[in-house]
Amino acid sequence: MSGNHQPIAAVLMPVQQRPLLLPSACIAGFQDYSRPEPVDV
């Protein structure tokens, strides 16, 4: 093995009570839910 070690950004997600390690590149993003506002049409 080479001595060039680079960290990989990852996320641990609970799936069926077990942790699942996913690379951050697989995650599109997280956003809090907010209620939609009515729009006049």
pLDDT in tens, 5-14: 888 888 888 8
Question: Cα–Cα distance between 12 and 39 in angstroms, integer?
Answer: 38
Q: Please check whether residue 25 is in contact with residue 10, taking contact to mean a CB–CB distance below 8 angstroms.
A: no
pLDDT at 2: 65
Residues of the chain with pLDDT under 50: none
